[in-house]
Amino acid sequence: MSHSFPIRVYYEDTDLAGIVYYANYLKFIERARTEWVRGLGVDQGRLRAKEGIVFAVRRVEADYLRPAKFDDELTVTTVLQGATGARMVLDQTVARSGEVLFQANVTLVCLTASGQPARIPAEIRRLLGAALH
């Protein structure tokens, strides 16, 4: 199951040439991941407050394929590729009118507030399992 999140490129997202600055793609996919998790029914603030755990990016492998420009309407698509007891792997793409401009494979891990590895709670693992189908 995929999740789509719309983004418009603002002037602040671009460099002097009017092209999206490379690091901003990471911001775009972060926003989309946050909305994807929210869409699953997970309140990350409550998860941190009640369970003492957070999700953190462990690894990003990114390919910049084509430039996005000022005022482009983009779509970030997030697809869960797999999940284990303490991590999940996502594929994320940024596209303009169906043309993929950026793609990333992102590994997220579950951590305690002190940064120690933690298991993803059973209820969230159940939600992730449903998202795989």
Section 111-126 average pLDDT: 92
The reported pLDDT for the residue numbered 131 is 81
119 SS3 class: coil
35 SS3 class: helix
Tell me whether residue 15 is one of the annotated catalytic residues: yes
- Kindly report the pTM of this predicted structure: 0.92
Alpha-carbon distances of 57 from 31, 105, 110, rounded to whole Å = 13, 11, 9
Domains along the chain with CATH numbers: 2-131 (3.10.129.10)
Output the DSSP codes for 43-65: -HHHIIIII-EEEEEEEEEEEE-
- DSSP H helical segments within the chain, as ranges? 24-40, 44-46, 122-131
Q: What is the pLDDT of residues 72-92, one digit of tens each?
A: 999 999 999 999 999 999 999
Section 49-53 average pLDDT: 91
Active-site option among 15, 43, 63, 71 = 15
